[in-house]
Structure 1
Amino acid sequence: MTVSPFEHTLIGALSGSVEVVLMQPTVAIKNALQEGRPVPMNPLHLYRGLPMNVVSMAPITASQFGANRLFTQNILRKNDADLTSAERFAGAAVAGAASAFIASPSELVIIHQQKSGMTLSAQASTILKTEGLLALRRGLLPAIGRETLYAAGYLGLFPILKKALDETDGQTLSSGATTAIAGITSGFFGAFCSHPFDTIKTKMQANMYSNPKYATLRSTFNNIYTHEGGITQLWKGMLPRMFRIICATFILNAVRTNVVNYLDDARN
């Protein structure tokens, strides 16, 4: 019996929770750099928003794992071993796009909580009272772009590269070495390609509707390009996020692989 999409969803929730607890400080540093405010020096401040991040990341990763499995198993009707590289990459990208509908609203609350120091419930209540329920959709489009590329990297490109390296004729690299190469490469891809979308999303959400320069995805891009230092500013704050994504690639795939192997062994 193969591991079902529902079980992959639960594995994703576990994996996402582990990753967030370990890597939360990089989120706070990245947000501060993108917004141009001082990086928090107090370790406790680096963990502001952790409960919300765990609450949000668990369903985000769960939806990515589950949607990816659902796409490959129920739509393509293939097992992992039978997937082509294109199918594997497409499944991960679709799963990432779907998860943005969870990621974007929760990150909006986290960004404002990190700035204000309010409690989670107080910050969420403040946003709803001052901006209204529809404010939670702010930054959704760039979030879709970001999550599509991020998931395509760790969930699609990683296993593609890992398999290609392991099956190379005359292979002299150990399994650990091929895992490291695949993880770093796919993590770099996910971070570099998705970061401009993340920068635009962060700017839009941090400024809400008070500043017309950040009113839409297009106006935010134009303002960054024209008035904030040019195209390179879209990658501002990338280093802490790249570090997180590379680490996350290893963490998420390691948890998934070990739990799936455990379930397969327990059923045989």
Structure 2
Amino acid sequence: MAQVSALEHTGIGAFAGVLEVSIMQPTVGIKNALQEGRPVPKTIAGLYRGLPVSAGAMLPITSVQFGMNRLLEQTYKRVMNTDQLGTGSTIGIAMGAGAASAVMGCPAEFVMIQQQKSGRSLPAEFRHIVSTYGALKPIKGFSATVLRESLYASGYLAVAPLLRGVLEQQPAVANLPGGPTVVSGVAAGLLATVCTQPADTIKTRMQAFPDTISHPQYRTLVSTTQHIIQSEGAGTLFAGMWPRMFRIVCAVFILNSTRTTLVDAVQRGREA
């Protein structure tokens, strides 16, 4: 991947993100409904409600994660005067890339959650949010989003490739068709789900109840966490984990496969 620039990684990330969310959007609808305690949509249209804003959110998220990850890699190698990244630096760089993407992801997910609850069109939902809560309300849940995205990005940008590299050296796995890719993808997806699920639940609950006067318990990350644990039990922090786990495992495959395929295509194009 050394010949592919950060800007090119950004474009690849945009395409990969839109592809992933277009395939996996129903799992988002199910997960959000379970986390908020409302009925799961029963129709295809209901499951795909919010897809335009969800895709619009994922495009900048994955483009920033891919591009920032590449930029941070290049910067680290230049500053440290090295051509190699250690395990710790690889994971740290991926976490930084994930945290950076929360700037776009948080407000977009706020709008998507409100639209899933109301059933309004996207323009109508924008107008309602601004007129009711103000233009800055969509950044509610930002701290939880940063926590979630940094851990999630470290899973698919760092843990999965690192684990795949280790498994490729193990004959029992390497000799199976696609073995290292499958095992590393599932393992990284499961780990990312478990590590990020509480932050995702807290973020969803905060964004689902934007009126902090009527719902002061959802004002901050700390107050939301305390309220959920005290009133509903710590297990609630893992509500909606199964559809999200399925989505993340699939996402690890989709994002990494798309990334590898397109990066290889760019490199082959340059060599032709």
* One-letter amino acid of the counterpart of residue 130, structure 2: L
Match of 1:139? 141
Q: What CA distance in whole angstroms lies between the structure 2 residues aligned with 1:68 and 1:226? A: 38
Answer yes or no: is the 8 Å Cα contact 1:166–1:175 preserved in 2. no
2:14 corresponds in structure 1 to 13
Matched with 2:230 is 226
Residue in 2 that maps onto 1:257: 260
- TM-score, length of structure 1 as denominator length: 0.96
Q: Hey, what does 2:53 align to over in structure 1?
A: 52
Distance 2:82 2:37 in 1: 43
**Alignment equivalent of 2:185, drawn from 183, 186, 208:** 183
CA distance in 1, matches of 2:236, 2:81: 42
Which residue of 2 is the match for residue 114 of structure 1?
Answer: 116
Q: Distance in 2 between matches of 1:167 and 1:73?
A: 26
Q: Is the 8 A contact 1:141 1:217 kept in 2?
A: yes
Provide the aligned C-alpha RMSD in A: 1.7
- Alpha-carbon distance change, 8 to 261 in structure 1, aligned in 2, over 3 angstroms: same
Map of 1:97 onto structure 2: 99
Q: Shift of residue 174 of structure 1?
A: 2.8
Q: Separation in 2 of the partners of 1:72 and 1:120?
A: 37
Please name the residue that 1:236 is paired with.
Answer: 239
Question: C-alpha distance in 2, partners of 1:32/1:72?
Answer: 38
What SS does the corresponding residue of 1:76 show, helix, strand or coil?
helix
Give the Cα–Cα distance (whole angstroms) in 1 for the partners of residues 237 and 262 of structure 2. Answer: 37
Q: CA distance change for structure 1 residues 55 and 67 in 2, over 3 Å: closer, same or farther?
A: same
Cα distance between partner residues in 2 of 1:109 and 1:80? 43
Q: What SS is found at the alignment partner of 1:82?
A: coil
- Alignment: residue pair count: 267
Distance 1:133 1:79, change over 3 A: farther
Gaps of 5+ in 1: none
Cα separation, 1, equivalents of 2:97 and 2:40:
32
Q: CA deviation at 1:84?
A: 1.7
Q: Which moved more, 1:90-99 or 1:206-215?
A: 206-215
Q: Kindly indicate whether the alpha-carbon contact (under 8 Å) linking 2:101 and 2:149 is maintained by their aligned counterparts in 1.
A: yes
Q: Which runs of 5+ in 2 are unaligned?
A: none
Q: Structure 1's 28 and 206: CA in aligned 2 closer, same or farther, altered over 3 A?
A: same
Written as runs of structure 1 = structure 2, the 5 A alignment for 1:57-206 is: 57-77=58-78, 82-168=84-170, 173-174=175-176, 176-206=178-208
Give a deviation string over 1:13-62, Cα, whole Å, max 9, x none: 00000001000000000000000000000111111110001111011000
Instruction: Compute the displacement of 1:79 (Å).
Output: 11
TM-score (norm 2): 0.94
In 2, are the aligned partners of 1:24 and 1:50 still within 8 Å (CA)?
yes
| Distance (whole Å) between structure 2 residues aligned to residue 81 and residue 34 of structure 1 | 44
1:169-191 C-alpha deviation (Å, 9 max, x unpaired): 77653350111110000001111
Distance change in 2, residues 1:105/1:80 (3 Å): farther
- Counterpart residue identity of residue 102, structure 1: M
How far apart, in 2, do the equivalents of 1:159 and 1:172 lie?
A: 14
Cα separation, 1, equivalents of 2:205 and 2:81: 40
- CA–CA distance in 2 between the matches of 1:79 and 1:45? 52
Evaluate the alpha carbon distance shift between residue 71 and residue 34 of structure 1 in structure 2; reply closer, same or farther with a 3 A threshold.
Answer: same
Question: Quick one: distance in 2 between partners of 1:84 and 1:175?
Answer: 28
- 2:199 pairs with 1:212: no
Aligned AA (1:152): S
